[in-house]
Structures are given as C-alpha cells and as structure tokens.
Structure 1
Amino acid sequence: MDSHKQLFILLCLSLVLVLLSGLQVEASRHIKHHPSKQLFVFGDSYVDTGNTPKSKPGSWKQPYGITFPGKPAGRFSDGRVLTDFIAKYLGLRSPIPHKFRNVVPKNYFKYGMNFAYGGTGVFDTSTSGPNVTTQINSFNQLVQENVYTQSDITKSIAYVSVAGNDYNHYLATNGSIQGFPSFIASVVKQTATNLVQLQKLGFKRIVVGALQPLGCLPQTTAQNSFKSCNSTFNDLVVLHNNLLDQSVTKLNQEANGYTTFVILDIFESFRSVLNNPSRHNIKERLKPCCFGVSSQYNCGSVDENNVKKYSVCENPESTFFWDRLHPTQAGWNAVYNELKIKSLHQILY
C-alpha cells in the first residue's frame, strides 16, 4: 500500500473517531438534560403542590404563598417546595396536582402528575387524607384509563416523600417512646411495599426521600426556645434512615438491574444547611418565620372574628423554616443546592 493510500485511510479513521466522540458527548448531554419524560410525585406536604383541600388549615390560607406565587396556592411554604426544585433539576415544569386533572389542559399531563397530600403518611393518619398506597392507586386508575401509557411510565421517575406524619400521628395517639423502634420498622416496611407497588406498575427509576431531622423541626425546638435540635428524636430518625437504606439495598438486589431504587438524602442535606446556614444566606436556622401568637395557634390561624393569631418575620428569604414543620422557599432552595452537590444526580444515573 502506497503512502498516499495509508495517509488517506488514517485521515478517514481520524474523522470517524472525531465524529463518534462528538456523538458520545452529544448523547451524554442529552441524557443529562433530558433524563425523564415525566415526574410522578407521591407523599405528603413536603411535596404537595395543591392537592390538600382549601377547607383544611395551612397551604391555601394567608400568609402561605407570599413569596411565590404571591398568594396561597396549596403549597405548605411561603413559596416553592421540594417538588418544584426536583422538577427544575429534571428540566420539567412542576407536575400538576391530581386534584386539578379535570380542569387544566391535557397538555399539562406531559410533565407528569403530583398525587401528594399534606398530612398523610404510609399509614392512615388523623387527616383522613389518602395515604401513599391510595395515591398510587389513583395513579393506576389513570393508567387504566389510558391517560398514561406503559411507555410513559418506563421513561419516568416516581418520587415518594415520607416526611414523618406517621410518627406525628403515633405520638398524638399516645404511642410510647419505648415502642417507637418497632413502629419505625413498620413504617419502613410499608414504605418498601409502596416502592414495590410502583415497580409493578412499570417504573424503572423510583426515588424515596430519607427522613429529615425531626428533632430540628420548630415543633420540637420550641421547647428550648428554638436554640438546639433534639438529639433523641434525631437518633430515631437515624434508625429510620438506616432501615430504609437496608430495604432499598435489598430491593435493588432483587430487581437485578431492571429497576433502580434510589434514596435522596434529605437528612444530610437538612443537616448540612442547619450546621452551616451562612453558606446559604440563612440567618435564622431553627426559629420559624410564621408562628402562632401562643401555643394554641399555628401559622395562618385566625379567631372567630377573623383576627390574625400569628406573626410573620420580615425576611422569609433569610429564614430556613417557614412554620413549625416546613421549610421556607429559601430553605428548600438551600436543601436543593446541597442535594445537587451530594445526591440529586443519583436520580439520573
């Protein structure tokens, strides 16, 4: 073979390698920015964007929503909640609440749907709202009605939030601290059952949130004037998260690669922000922005004469907690930024 032919072949091979390299880069970009066709959300107030009825306390009452969208809109915060930030990361519009499925244009369905309902858990709680199993059944009903196809489900992400309402209900109904560990095991077991329920419906990527440090919530820290977290409660949260990690590891082993179960580390992200709030421009880390004038009132409470029985801080954007249970939009944004650094990419890969 003469030198001219050798040079020509080498040039052709080089060109092919460059083209293949470009295609690989483009493919990786495509995967990174378009990981999912839709997002389906199940759980509680940490991800609810409007399913809870207007008749119930909070979310649809003043002063909720004062930061975004400027009025109460069904989110348990002054603005956006975790769902909105996850959708943002996935390059999606925040999925519509299931409650509005019959009043919005069908075009909105292409982003997925939110079935979460404030105050609920994996078991029935005092709110009488739909627990996670019932929420998943509501999704399955839409599948049966051909609103969503198996192709939609396979390409989509399911996110499940279990933020502690089962434990609040347990304590409120005279559950003992001594019995807490066994109850935690039952909550995690039911959570795993719900994840398998989603797997059977066809989801290939199922994400569940770790439990946040309940001992740092204002409803707990109010006992010491919002000065420090309660280590006893946080130790119980660690037990929950350890059991959840064991359950998810087992589910992944049994799935043999056909489905991926992922834990989004909400606990560590909360703790990182609360341990170093100034990094996120948070000045008030434990005291809530909106709280009742006395222990009998909550954020948004009014008396029989419609007189406000709560106060609101001047700067929600520099406060981590909005009310006794929920972060502000700024708080969620800080958690989201920590998740981006540490674990949110696991949703994609």
Structure 2
Amino acid sequence: MASSRFVVTMLLSFLFLFLLSSPENVAAAPYTSLFSFGDSLADTGNLLHLSPETNRPPHYALPPYGETFFHTPTGRFSDGRVVIDFIADSLGLPFLPPYVGEERNESGRRNFGEGANFAVGGATALDDAFFKKIGLFNLTPNISLDCQLNWFKEMLPTICQSSSECKEFLKSSLVVVGEIGGNDYNHAFLGGISTNFIKSYVPNVVSKIGSVVHELIGLGAVTLLVPGELPKGCSTAYLATFISSNQTDYDPETGCLNWLNDFAKYHNSLLINELNRLQKLHPHATIIYADYYNAAMQFYLTPDTLGFKEGAVVACCGAGGAYNFNASFLCGYPPTKACADPNLYANWDGIHLTEAAYKWLAHGILTGAYTNKNLNIISTSFKATS
C-alpha cells in the first residue's frame, strides 16, 4: 500500500501538471508592484552588473546559463527563469529589473513603479564584518540584506514623494524577502567552520531577517512573503563535498545528508517563530512563510513523478563525478558541459536549480500548497518556455 506521503506527492504532482497545461489567464491579485530581496536564488542580474569587467567574465555570464528561456545569460543562476520571475508573471507584471542595472527611460531615470529586484548572488543576511571576524574574507562586499534594504530606501523617492504617499503605494505591493541566509551558512560550511559554531549564529541570521521585515513594514509594506531554507542536505554541492562512507548519514528514501537537512530545519523553525512574533506585533500586515524546504523535498522523494527523469541530486551542468559537480570547474568554464535537456534535472550547476525546479517551487507557493497563508493570486499559469 502506498504511504500517505506518496499519495500527497502524487496529488500535488497532478495539480502541477494540470496547471502547466491550463490556458494562460490574466492574473487577478491585489498587487500592482513586486519587490525582491535575497541571494542567487532570486538574483536577476545585480551581481552581474556589480562584477568588474575583466578578460574572463564570471561563469554565470556565459552559456549555457539562460539557455532554456532567455537563450542568453542574464545574470540569473539557472538555465532559465527563477521563482521571482514566475511570481511576476502570475501577477501580470514584467520580469523584475535588477536595481543595479543600467536601463533608463527617456528622461534618463530608472522606473521602478512596477517593482525592482535587490537580490544579489552570494548575499548574506549578516554583514561582511561578521564573516571577516570568523576568518572568511572572500565574500563579495556590500551586498548583505542591510545593503539591499538601503537600496530600497534609496529607490523609494523615485516612486513616491512623501512617507504617506509611499505607504499608500506599498499597500498594493508584494515584497519577497528571501530566500536569504543560505549563504551565511554556505560560506562557513564550505570554508571549514565547525557545524556547532555555525549553528550558534543561526539566531543572529534569523533576527536580521526579522529586523528587515519589521523595517519594511514600518516603511509601508503590508504583504510580505518570506521563504525558508531549501533542504541543504540534498544540495548537489554539499553531497559532493561531504561524501560519507557511513550510510546512516543518508536518508535512505532520498539519498540526502540527514545532518545538513536537520540544520536547514533548525533555521526554518526559528524563522517561523520570528515571523509569528512579527505577525502579532503587526496585525495589520500579512506575513507569509514560504516553505521552500518541503516544496523542494518532492524533487528528492519522487523525482520521476515531477518529470526529473535524470534525478534530482545530479547536476545538469558540470564536469563529471558522482554528482557531476566539482568546485574547481564551475558551469560555464571548460571542461564543464550542460546536459541535453535541463527539464529532466532538478539541479542546474551543483548549487542552483533548473528552471523546471524553480517552476515547481513557484507553483507550490502561488497555489498555497507550501505557504501558511494564501497570496490571493487567482491565476498561476505561466508563459510557456520558448
């Protein structure tokens, strides 16, 4: 007899396939603008614009990045669209321009009336100074969550001229804060910092996320979506880095590393508590937790059911090995090469997901299957991949 978890996964999978086959409709939602904060899971080009021009472009500025939808690299860390793109599409809004981008209107000013993206690849919740203090010096400076919040404050006067006018404008905005915090741990885990020490500062990371959510509400935001951590123990990069001969380290159903997934669940439990505290403090606002962890776990529990025929933990773009990931050879640089069909994979480059996987995450959030409150978006049909 099938387990109850398998039955739930099958039902969600059928819903996902139904939505993909549904005709495209116009989104009916109370949001006329969209703003995004976070890291490479949401970046639509900020880090690319921040990267200095050199003879060797960053790997994510090279093919095969962007090949599935945009047919050219855009600064997104995927073969195509990421979650924030699908959210924008469902709202009937254009893809979010990176705040650091160069686009200007006829008057020479940038127009963010329908939204902007402040997320930057590699960004952390905590500031650079903290990581320098613990011996990590190779982080990109001035892209932390506080820096992104300062960009947001810098942008607001280009849209609204007074505090009351800005609050009125933000009433109809959806503000997505994250995913953020993952790099606070990634830099440390991959930099050799002990697990116990990393766990000791999880409350600081969560507190920083909470303080930014609190400040955004003070500025006028009333609907905020805050995603949690992905299942870190299922990440291709981590599986390749922390290979263990002890089979008890692995979940027999998924092949994921238990101790890293337990860590991600610990972060998420503290984040949920913080968001509940903030919701009580700001009853007029709607703070929505997006459960990226359990949405993504479906990739690893039943990859075939979701169309990931080549599996969920093997990277599409890499240079070989058990998981097709080697930190010395990043996707975009030789000798790496991409798989023939990224839609058959959940993992793109070892660290980030494919467009197909991000589409699943987006459906889980937009349909309310993996949120604690509904976003009130009626249409969740997306533009077809072209």
TM-score, shorter chain, exceeding 0.5: yes
Instruction: Tell me whether 1:346 sits opposite 2:374 in the alignment.
Output: yes
Indicate if the aligned counterparts of 2:295 and 2:370 stay in contact, CA closer than 8 A.
no
Q: Which residue of 1 aligns with 2:67?
A: 66
Q: Which residue of 2 aligns with 1:321?
A: 347
Q: Which residue of 1 aligns with 2:227?
A: 209
Q: Could you tell me which of 118, 138, 143 is aligned with 2:151?
A: 138
Q: Which one has the bigger helix percentage? A: 1
Q: Which residue of 2 aligns with 1:119?
A: 122
CA distance in 2, matches of 1:297, 1:101: 30
CA RMSD of the aligned region, Å?
2.4
Instruction: Tell me whether 1:157 sits opposite 2:174 in the alignment.
Output: yes
CA pair 314-224 structure 1, distance change in 2 beyond 3 A:
farther
CA pair 104-129 structure 1, distance change in 2 beyond 3 A:
farther
CA pair 163-228 structure 1, distance change in 2 beyond 3 A:
farther
Q: Which residue of 2 aligns with 1:304?
A: none
Indicate if the aligned counterparts of 1:95 and 1:114 stay in contact, CA closer than 8 A.
yes
How far the C-alpha of 1:79 sits from its partner, in A, is: 0.3
Q: What do the CA deviations read for 1:85-132 (whole angstroms, capped 9, x no partner)?
A: 111222322221112265356796332111111010112351224111
Q: Which residue of 1 aligns with 2:300?
A: 274
Determine helix, strand or coil for the equivalent of 2:318.
strand
Q: What do the CA deviations read for 1:206-241 (whole angstroms, capped 9, x no partner)?
A: 111111001111101224499821110100111100
Unaligned runs of 5+ in 2: 1-25, 129-138, 245-249, 321-325, 378-386
CA distance in 2, matches of 1:173, 1:131: 18
Letter in 1 for 2:39: D
State the aligned residue count. Answer: 312
Q: Could you tell me which of 90, 109, 112 is aligned with 1:109?
A: 112
CA pair 291-146 structure 1, distance change in 2 beyond 3 A:
same
CA pair 219-36 structure 1, distance change in 2 beyond 3 A:
same
Q: Which residue of 2 aligns with 1:40?
A: 35
CA distance in 1, matches of 2:191, 2:301: 32
CA distance in 1, matches of 2:79, 2:160: 32
Determine helix, strand or coil for the equivalent of 1:296.
coil
TM-score (norm 2): 0.75
Identity of aligned residues (%): 29
Bigger shift: residues 228-237 or 108-117: 108-117
Determine helix, strand or coil for the equivalent of 2:176.
strand
How far the C-alpha of 1:73 sits from its partner, in A, is: 0.9
Q: Which residue of 1 aligns with 2:330?
A: 298
Higher CA-based Rg: 1
CA distance in 1, matches of 2:238, 2:99: 32
Q: Which residue of 1 aligns with 2:358?
A: 332
Determine helix, strand or coil for the equivalent of 1:207.
strand
Determine helix, strand or coil for the equivalent of 1:99.
coil
